[in-house]
Amino acid sequence: MLNDPKEHSRLVLIRHPLLAEPFARQALGQGSAELARRGRSQWLQVMKTLDAIPIDRVFAAPVAHSSEPARALAGDRDLELEEDPRLLDQDLGDWSGKLWEEIRREDPDKIKEFFLSYGTAAAPGGESLNESLDRIRSWWEDLRGEVFEKTVAVVAGGHLLQGFAAWLIGLSLGRAPALALPPGAFGILDVYTDGAVCRCWHPLCLSEEMP
């Protein structure tokens, strides 16, 4: 059981649950998607696991697969969900909505560069992960003064959250994949004025509900 945050803020970073087909195989980018039945089951377990942790505010990216589960979490605690476009995932430009298989077939060189240059390469007409992280960092800088000694839950895309967490604890973007979150997983960080401490990361990793 975590003690209440003192002299710091607490962030509960939650990746949205598993997506339904065909969304799970798409380069979704900033598009909206439906949750899989298993994803809804995952979310019930997430809410049960977080039940003992007081949460003061709940934020989400304004897309259905993030906002719908976040709204359930907020409603369970008599809170209003707060949506912010700066929490949207990376803009994948011309690839948005296409199947990854199709993109690999049509643009093999560009997609190879995209994955090898983690965080710095952008899809055609899109943005790099590093650019999307500038948005969530802006969101946090605007918010942090309001949530001192409070706990904030955030539901958004996995790559955005792991890059944000890496920045908070002082890791380079290239090390961010070490903080990978599968669908429906979460991590908890205590954020001080001069850095952050990871209190737990993906505690449900042994659950059968995790993909």
SS3 122: strand
Superfamily of the domain at 9-201: Phosphoglycerate mutase-like (3.40.50.1240)
Whether 209 shows a pLDDT value over 70: the answer reads no
What number is the average pLDDT over the span 142-165?
A: 96
Query: Of 164, 154, 211, nearest to 186 (Cα)?
Result: 154
Q: Which residue has the tokens 């980018």?
A: 29
Section 88-116 average pLDDT: 95
Is it the case that residue 95 has pLDDT exceeding 60? yes
What is the predicted pLDDT for the residue at 45?
Answer: 92
> pLDDT by residue (tens digit) across 41-93?
999 999 999 998 999 999 999 999 999 999 999 999 999 999 999 999 999 99
Mean pLDDT of 9-21: 97
Residue 183 pLDDT class (50, 70, 90 cuts): very high
Does position 1 have pLDDT exceeding 90, yes or no? no
Q: What is the mean pLDDT of the segment spanning 135-155?
A: 97
Per-residue pLDDT at 211 exceeds 80:
no
* Averaged pLDDT score across all residues of the chain: 94
pLDDT for the residue numbered 144: 94
Q: What percent of the chain has pLDDT over 90?
A: 88
**How high is the pLDDT of residue 204?**
77
CA distance 129 to 140: 17
158-169 vs 129-143: helix crossing angle, rounded to 10: 60
User: At residue 153, what is the residue type?
Assistant: A
Q: What's the CA gap between 161 and 202, in Å, rounded?
A: 12
